[in-house]
Amino acid sequence: MYDPHNQKPKVPGYQSDWNAGFAYAKNGVPVGPRAYSYWLYNVPWGLYKSIMYIKEHYKNPTMFLSENGMDDPGNVTFSKGLHDTARINYYKGYLTQLEKAIDDGANVFGYHAWSLLDNFEWRLGYTSRFGIVYVDFKTLKRTPKMSAYWFEQLLTKKK
């Protein structure tokens, strides 16, 4: 969210040029559906706005989106964990906005979903699951979720 009251930084940089603050609601209405983590909301238009801001203010540098995804609770059942339609909808929204930004001239070189596997999150441990592949943390058995099959279809689709 743009904050016009912030002073422009003297030296542009990652933390000094955000010109933004974190906002989870506007006029009491959430900005989008919340994932499991309190800080993570599904707001695809925000990706488009961020990419276009970088394009316009930094001479359209080559951009690589290295981490984009949403989490489910770590204790979600196996069956419910595999049927991750919210994650599919999340990626559909974000990739649509990413495509729009590229069509509008943004120099985006690559994109990585977060994450391939459910894993030990550095801040959350095993209390959240970001993967498109379900991992049984006791046996380490890996089972693709619906979102993994959705990505497979997306990536093998003929244009």
Asked if the structure places residue 6 within a domain, the reply is: no
Distance (Å, rounded) from C-alpha 78 to C-alpha 80? 6
Distance (Å, rounded) from C-alpha 98 to C-alpha 57? 18
Binned at pLDDT 50, 70 and 90, residue 157 comes out as confident
Asked if the structure places residue 24 within a domain, the reply is: no
Asked if the structure places residue 25 within a domain, the reply is: no
Asked if the structure places residue 8 within a domain, the reply is: no
Query: Which tokens hold the place of 149?
Result: 């099959």
- pLDDT, tens digit, 9 for 90 and up, residues 134-152: 999 999 999 999 999 999 9
Average pLDDT, the chain: 91
> Which domain covers residue 70, as residue numbers?
41-156
The CATH number given to whatever domain includes residue 76 is: 3.20.20.80
Asked if the structure places residue 28 within a domain, the reply is: no
pLDDT at 19: 66
Asked if the structure places residue 26 within a domain, the reply is: no
CA atoms within 13 A on the CB side of 26: 7
Asked if the structure places residue 15 within a domain, the reply is: no
Maximum Cα interatomic distance, the chain, rounded to a whole number of Å: 53
Distance (Å, rounded) from C-alpha 18 to C-alpha 4? 11
- pLDDT, tens digit, 9 for 90 and up, residues 72-112: 999 999 999 999 999 999 999 999 999 999 999 999 999 99
Asked if the structure places residue 1 within a domain, the reply is: no
Q: How many domains does the chain have?
A: 1
